[in-house]
Amino acid sequence: MTTATPELLTVPEVMERLNVGRTKVYDLIRTHRLVSIKVDGCRRIPTGAVRDFITGQIGEAA
């Protein structure tokens, strides 16, 4: 059985990947630094959005 990376992540999954708290994830979403969508009222973050955020942070730090 293969374990593919899901296309859409939950807030707790993003918290774990970025090693930040729930409030910080929602702050990133609110300030449009992290793209998200709502699926039946549940907030979901595309894996590409997390990757783009990390790449952007690395670029700013350089």
> What is the pLDDT at residue 62?
79
Q: Over the stretch 3-55, which tens digit does the pLDDT of each residue have?
A: 666 799 999 999 999 999 999 999 999 999 999 999 999 999 999 999 999 99
DSSP line for 1-62? ---PPPSEE-HHHHHHHHT--HHHHHHHHHTTSS--EEETTEEEEEHHHHHHHHHHHHHHH-
Going by pLDDT thresholds of 50, 70 and 90, the confidence category of residue 1 is: low
> What is the pLDDT at residue 19?
97
> What is the pLDDT at residue 42?
95
Q: Give CA 28 to chain center in angstroms.
A: 9
